[in-house]
Amino acid sequence: MDPQTRSGTVSIAFVREALAAAHRGGADVEAICAATGIAADQLADDGARVSAATFGALWLTVARALDDEFFGQDSRRMKVGSFAALCRLSLDTPKLSQALRRIVQFFGILLDDTRIELQLSGPEACLILKPVPGAAGSDRVFAHETLLVLSHGLACWLIGRRIPILRARFAYPAPAWHREYRDVFSEILEFDAPDTSIAFSALLLEAPVVQNPRSLQEFLRGAPANFILKFRDENSLGRRIRRHLMALPPTEWPGFDELADVFHIGATTMRRRLEREGVSFSQIKDSLRRDLAVQHLTGSDASLADIAAQLGFAEASAFHRAFKQWTGLRPGAYRP
């Protein structure tokens, strides 16, 4: 399997949003698609997915074409280089709380149409997006998605671990691709909410900033592909489990207790550590099966029954149900 495919996939809906922003900004959309390897038939397929690396390349290409890392979603351009400057500014802080306040302040200087606030409410902390009264804002959905991905991805990288989002609220109706929000943000979602916000444990505000100028260079070389889906600590238990499963056919994946023995830790300890990382064993298996299914459906002519069997499903009907739950579409929709 291509490493790009294994590292995760992004719904074509987000590709369309980025390209729509490029079009509104006067950029040559056909040239952008050609440069990033995005085909017209992919754009026409509601169920298509691209690798995180491909979407990252698209992100950078659109930003360069518009000289705007916020893709024209604000009255003021966020010129190329702004995100790198924000990263450098955030490094010089002892812990996450100070870093987040700098992120909030920086976006407050750069953007005219949206204000970000950091609020504490008991055991939870929230990053809240608030449109400035009277601001135009070309597309609140894409603007809010982009701001949350940028802010959350940077915060995770600064402390060297993924920050589990306890719940996410959005101040707009559920978009057609709202199922993707469970992977990008949280399992607990609310739309048509009074504001757009993500909540996380306030205890994480005390987490130390562990990055430095040397690690920043590596981070910027891989950005934004390295945090588009979610920040991934390659040494985290969840990522180690994913790599272990990727080396085996799904039909040979071990059970939870057996896997705990492989990693020489108790099952209770392993479950607790995964919970701290904001992931579960079943989520790891589901996301990996989904990406494998997309690869088989788009890159082979194997029958749906054969693909179901290769993925470890006892019956093709179970594969159909699972695939529709993962993507909102039937497996056949991925076939020409």
Residue 187 lies in a domain: yes
- Tens-digit pLDDT profile for residues 206-233: 989 999 998 999 889 888 877 775 555 5
Give yes or no: residues 46 and 97 share one domain.
no
Q: Is residue 228 part of a domain?
A: yes
Q: What is the pLDDT of residue 67?
A: 97
What is the Cα gyration radius of the chain? 20
If asked whether residues 104 and 209 sit together in one domain, one would say yes
Q: Which of 25, 46, 66 is the last residue of a domain?
A: 66
* Helix or strand holding residue 124 (H, E): strand 124-131
Going by C-alpha positions, the residue among 290, 278, 308 that lies closest to residue 245 is: 290
Query: 207 and 291, same structural domain?
Result: no
Predicted local confidence at residue 10, as pLDDT: 87
Identify the pLDDT of residue 138: 47
For the chain, the domain total comes to 3
For residues 261 and 180, membership in a common domain is answered with no
Examine residue 71 and state whether it is found in any structural domain, yes or no.
no
Q: Which domain holds residue 103?
A: 76-232
Specify whether 220 is located in the same domain as 244: no
- Whether residues 61 and 123 share a domain: the answer is no
Asked if residues 90 and 99 have their Cβ atoms less than 8 Å apart, the reply is: yes
84 lies in the same domain as 211? yes
Shared domain check, 36 and 99: no
Residues 112 and 94 in one domain: yes
Question: Per the domain annotation, does 326 fall within a domain?
Answer: yes
Q: Is residue 109 a part of any domain in this protein?
A: yes
Is residue 186 situated within a structural domain? yes
**In the listed set 199, 232, 265, which residue is the last one of a domain according to the structure?**
232
- Please list, residue by residue across 89-115, b when 16 or more beta carbons sit within 10 angstroms of its beta carbon and e when fewer do: ebeebeebbebbeebbebbeebbebbe
Q: Are residues 46 and 152 in the same domain?
A: no
| Closest by Cα among 277, 295, 176, 155 to 227 | 155
Does residue 263 lie in a domain region? yes
81 & 208 share domain: yes
Q: Among candidates 44, 59, 57, 48, which has minimal Cα distance to 10?
A: 48
Vertex 41: Cα angle to 38 and 47 (nearest 5) = 90
Same domain, 198 and 264: no
- The predicted pLDDT at position 255 comes to 95
Residues in the chain with pLDDT values less than 50: 1-7, 137-138
Q: Which of 44, 66, 88 is the last residue of a domain?
A: 66
Q: Using CA atoms, how far apart are residues 243 and 292, in angstroms rounded to an integer?
A: 13
* pLDDT at residue 1, as a whole number: 29
